[in-house]
Structure 1
Amino acid sequence: MIRTLVGVLGALSALFPDKIVKLFEKLAIANPSEGTVRGWVGPAIRSEGVLIAAISLLNGRAYAWLMNLTGVFGAIVFLFPDLYRRFATAFLYERPESIEWNERFRSGIRAIGALYVFLAAKTYLERHNDT
């Protein structure tokens, strides 16, 4: 079930990277019209989506690695949401100093991190209960 969900989300990212960015900005950024996303972000989201969808189809070592990485990323985001915001701003935008985050999205960042950790833990437990 989780593998299917992860694969679908990867496929959606691959098909609609610009819409993913717009949705993120709508939820997370207080002034989305002020920032200019770096030119490589859309193609990177598309590539990541293709990779995630493909790995989700395999359900082997690559999928286990992907879910472990997802859990580690989720833990970092959950524990250090402000660090994530600083990194994401500098990484994604041409003029990071012009970006203002919605303060209420700090809880959203933590919720996403917690969800990633949960999904990774659930996948890990399912994988180890089958053996």
Structure 2
Amino acid sequence: MIRTLVGVLGAISALFPDKIVGIFEKLAIANPSEGTVREWVRPAIRSEGVLIAAISLRNGRAYAWLMNLTGLFGAIVLLFPDLYRRFATAFLYERPESIEWNERFNSAVRAIGTLYVFLAAKTYRERHNET
């Protein structure tokens, strides 16, 4: 079930990177019209989506690694949402100093982090119960 959901989300990212950026900016950024997303971001989202969808089609080490990485990322954003915001701003935008984040987005970042940790833990538990 989780693998299917992860695969579908990867496929959606691959097919609609502009929509993903738009949704992210609408929810996270207070002044989305002020920022210019770096040129490589949309192709990177598409590539990441293809990779996630492909990995999710197969069970095994690659999927386990993907879910472990998801859990690690989730723990980081759960514990350090401000660090995530600073990194994302510098990484994603050409003029990061012009970006203003929605303050309520910290709660959303923590909720996403919690979900990622939960999904990774559930996947880990399922893998280890099979053996």
Amino acid at match of 2:101: W
- Cα offset, 1:12, TM superposition: 0.1
Amino acid at match of 2:85: R
Partner of 2:61: 61
CA distance in 2, matches of 1:7, 1:84: 24
Partner of 1:103: 103
CA RMSD of aligned residues (A): 0.3
Partner of 2:4: 4
Partner of 1:93: 93
* Gap regions ≥5 residues in structure 1: none
CA distance in 2, matches of 1:52, 1:103: 30
Amino acid at match of 2:70: T
Alignment of 1:74-93 (within 5 A): 74-93=74-93
Q: Which runs of 4+ in 1 moved over 3 A?
A: none
**What's the TM-score, normalizing by structure 2?**
1.00
Report percent identity of matched pairs.
89
Partner of 1:30: 30
SS in 2 for 1:39: coil
Amino acid at match of 2:74: G
* Gap regions ≥5 residues in structure 2: none
Give the count of matched residue pairs.
131
Amino acid at match of 2:42: G
